[in-house]
Amino acid sequence: MKTFFLTTPLYYVNDVPHIGHAYTTIAADVLARWKRLKGEPVFFLTGTDEHGAKIDQAAQAAGKTPRAFADQVVGSFQALWKRLGITQDDFIRTTEERHARVVQGVFDFLLKKGDIYLGTYEDWYCVSCESFWTEAELADKTCPTCGRPVERLKEESYFFKLSSYEKPLLDHFEKNKDFLQPPHRASEIVNFVRSGLKDLSVSRTKVAWGVPVPSNPKHTVYVWFDALLNYISATGYAPGKKQAEGLWPADVHLVGKEIFRFHTVIWPAMLMALGLPLPKKVFAHGWWTVEGEKMSKSRGNVVDPRKMADEYGVDAFRYFLLREVPFGSDGDFSENNLLGRYNAELANGLGNLLNRTLNLLEKNHQGKIPGDPPAAHGGIVKMTNDAVERLAFHEALGDIFSLVNEGNKIIDQEAPWKTAKTDLPRAHQTLFKVVAILKEAALLLHPFMPSLTREMWKQLGEEQDLEAAGKDYLARGVLVFSPGQVVKKGPPLFPRKEVDLARPPVSLPPSPHLLP
Ligand code: MSP
């Protein structure tokens, strides 16, 4: 079976991670965990983008060398991923030798092949987005992506022959309808390519912090050209050498909408130039605003994922990010909504169902499960799997929570605390049905809420390991029940929360070394 290869962008280390970085990474983690739970081999790649003017400037402002600065910030990314339960298989830094070597090899190879040539660049540049812009593309003389001031550049530069790939790219989009995802973001890219591609400047003489061009070291490689190559350098690629079987092409690159173009135009053209297959899919998710406003350091409203995890728990935070907004659409992060969903869906919906079911089982039935297991709800596996495969995480969660609500309805209607007095086996059977629902919910929710579902599983008394059971359930629709299973109520999974939202917002302290 081919290894499912998925990636996040490599994050810039100019600043500590915020909710936007956490969002892409959590989504990737859920997908990786889902696939593994089904029994598929997975390679989940993330890492950091550490070269270029943006990092250099941030390092200078912090009074550090770029390398020392990057070493420090990369630690906060790695610590956060650990805290958020991220299960990446590899973490690549663009400053690693294994990567820089590939960047140099590719540059050299394309130079010899004629896909890279020397010329002069004269136009605009946005340091914050590390993007080149023409006069016509500027928005009111500022960067059309981030709105910050741009600088005028005139320098000798190597160019990548992007213009030769217009037609091949359009053909590829035409033949591979799944490549640009979600579909509503496809036309922008198709129109952009149709309107004509210019060759891309891929080296800088005024940026020292980068990978030197091997044949002309006064140039360093353009940071995007450098960073995009991580997706193959992490697989052990070397130009001219046959690719190791099995890993490349990536199955999906998950990216934010503002970097969709880099991943769907520049990157595929680079791969075509190298004679490599293209990733099967590039999926752009939307952007979060915060309480209705654009998130920015100058506004001081940047949401700190660590504080959210401390306040609500890692699992609830992961759940909220993927439940609140369809992956692919923009959304608004409001702590009030997080609190609302926490109490309504997690505490009252799921947590309470587990609690009252186990309570009644222990009180009236010695915690035991009766008879033969009921059949699993076959439909839910298919529905949620289809949704996750389409990266419609909110839909999958919606379906799972309908099942949870179904469990609450069964208990309300059947009132097993009453029937226990008149018809004990019936009460027992009712609770059994609900235990089955809870087990299904624990398995389906595991990729989203990895630690509390384990706790749930333990309380439900199942001896077989959750992951092994997940395989049977997701691949074959079989829900395991170990003989003699006895439930064991534990502390509530989601204690109800009252949070004083009038207190100062849970945001990052302003950091002095940042770009405005
Ligand atoms: N270094 C480049 C990517 C190179 S990939 C070869 C870069 N880095 S980044 O640090 O800016 O991180 C980008 C990721 O964070 C994107 O996926 C982006 O969408 C995400 N987010 C940053 N702010 C965000 C929001 N406000 N909302 C949602 N995600 C956003 O770009």
The CATH code of the domain that includes 231 is: 3.40.50.620
Q: Kindly state whether residues 175 and 37 are assigned to the same domain.
A: yes
Per-residue pLDDT, 152: 94
295 lines ligand 1 (CB under 6 A): yes
The answer to whether residue 321 sits within a structural domain is no
> Ligand 1 centroid vs 79 CA: distance in angstroms?
18
Per-residue pLDDT, 442: 98
Per-residue pLDDT, 516: 31
The answer to whether residue 485 sits within a structural domain is no
255 lines ligand 1 (CB under 6 A): yes
Q: Cβ(405)–Cβ(349) under 8 Å?
A: yes
The answer to whether residue 512 sits within a structural domain is no
Q: Kindly state whether residues 12 and 143 are assigned to the same domain.
A: yes
The answer to whether residue 488 sits within a structural domain is no
Residues of the chain with confidence (pLDDT) below 50: 510-516
The answer to whether residue 494 sits within a structural domain is no
Per-residue pLDDT, 437: 95
The answer to whether residue 312 sits within a structural domain is no
Per-residue pLDDT, 369: 87
Per-residue pLDDT, 23: 98
Number of domains forming the structure of the chain = 2
Strands 151-160 and 200-201, by their bridges, are: antiparallel
9 lines ligand 1 (CB under 6 A): yes
Per-residue pLDDT, 245: 64
Per-residue pLDDT, 502: 63
Per-residue pLDDT, 512: 42
Distance CA 179, CA 201 (A): 25
Q: Kindly state whether residues 257 and 341 are assigned to the same domain.
A: no
* Residue 451 half-sphere exposure toward CB, CA atoms < 13 A: 15
158 lines ligand 1 (CB under 6 A): no
> Ligand 1 centroid vs 404 CA: distance in angstroms?
34
The answer to whether residue 47 sits within a structural domain is yes
259 lines ligand 1 (CB under 6 A): yes
Per-residue pLDDT, 513: 42
Domain of 227?
A: 4-285
How many angstroms separate the Cα of 275 from the Cα of each of 102, 171, 243, 248, 332?
15, 16, 11, 12, 41
Q: Kindly state whether residues 241 and 92 are assigned to the same domain.
A: yes
Name the residue with the closest Cα to ligand 1, atom 6.
228
331 lines ligand 1 (CB under 6 A): no
Q: Kindly state whether residues 154 and 264 are assigned to the same domain.
A: yes
Which one of 16, 19, 127, 259 would you pick to mutate in the ligand 1 pocket, going by the greatest count of ligand atoms within 8 A of its CB? 259
> Ligand 1 centroid vs 210 CA: distance in angstroms?
20
> Ligand 1 centroid vs 205 CA: distance in angstroms?
26
11 lines ligand 1 (CB under 6 A): yes
Atom index in ligand 1 nearest the CA of residue 257 equals: 19
CATH number of 368's domain = 1.10.730.10
Q: Kindly state whether residues 387 and 449 are assigned to the same domain.
A: yes
Q: Kindly state whether residues 35 and 98 are assigned to the same domain.
A: yes
Distance CA 469, CA 490 (A): 21
> Ligand 1 centroid vs 355 CA: distance in angstroms?
39
Which run of H or of E encompasses 270? helix 267-274
> Ligand 1 centroid vs 215 CA: distance in angstroms?
32
Q: Kindly state whether residues 267 and 340 are assigned to the same domain.
A: no
Q: Kindly state whether residues 170 and 49 are assigned to the same domain.
A: yes
Among the candidates 225, 254, 285, a domain finishes at 285
Per-residue pLDDT, 296: 85
Per-residue pLDDT, 514: 39
Q: Kindly state whether residues 234 and 85 are assigned to the same domain.
A: yes
Q: Kindly state whether residues 122 and 270 are assigned to the same domain.
A: yes
Q: Kindly state whether residues 272 and 389 are assigned to the same domain.
A: no
The answer to whether residue 492 sits within a structural domain is no
